[in-house]
Amino acid sequence: MPGHPDEVRDALAAAIPGDHRVYVRLSGTGNRAARPVSDRLEVVRRGSGRAAGVVVAVGPMLDRVLEATADLDVTVAYAAAVRPFDRQGLSTLVAASGNADVLVVEPYLRGTSAHEVAAALVDRRHRQLGLGVARDTEVRAYGTPAEHARAHGLDARGIAGAAREFFLV
């Protein structure tokens, strides 16, 4: 799930080798700057050793997540590739943050990566919240990507509110 047009070439180059099925999801929205495309979580902002938790921003959600959590003590990690999910990377980030609360912000169906977070943290008690497109909400009054994001709480304001409530800040 590249988060910037300049990431697409690397995502495709990584997907082409081999004989397995691959899905590369492109979006009409994106982050202001390209990031390295990897199957590992990239730490974009590190919280303190007593951080409220970890936020995983998938693809084009990174800029909104950074804006929404600018004043929160959280570690923010970027995922340009979500399968295979970097379970070891998430486990390491959670251990370093001192808190096992994980918020995943996905530009597709809410909770898509919940089972991956659970598998990554199976050895410890944790809380998790997935933000994404609501499965049970039919939205008919939008037209632009920004309106769609706002309707599902995936704009910076919606993410900020959910993050504050989840991390109890």
Residue 145 lies in a domain: yes
Sorting pLDDT into bands at 50, 70 and 90, what band is 18? Answer: confident
CA gap 143, 51 in Å, rounded:
37
Domain of residue 102, CATH code: 3.40.50.920
Residue 115 lies in a domain: yes
pLDDT over 90, % of the chain: 79
pTM recorded for the entire structure: 0.94
Number of domains in the chain: 1
17, part of any domain: no
Asked whether the predicted pLDDT for residue 141 surpasses 90, the reply is no
Per the domain annotation, does 7 fall within a domain? Answer: no
The answer to whether 21 and 39 have CB atoms below 8 angstroms apart is no
Residue 130 lies in a domain: yes
Q: Which amino acid is at 158?
A: G
Report the pLDDT averaged over residues 86-115: 95
For 14, list phi and psi in degrees, rounded to 5. Answer: -75, -30
- pLDDT, tens digit, for every residue of 26-78? 998 999 999 999 999 999 999 998 889 999 999 999 999 999 999 999 999 99
Is the alpha carbon torsion for 124, 132, 57, 82 positive or negative?
Answer: positive
Q: Domain span at residue 77?
A: 36-167
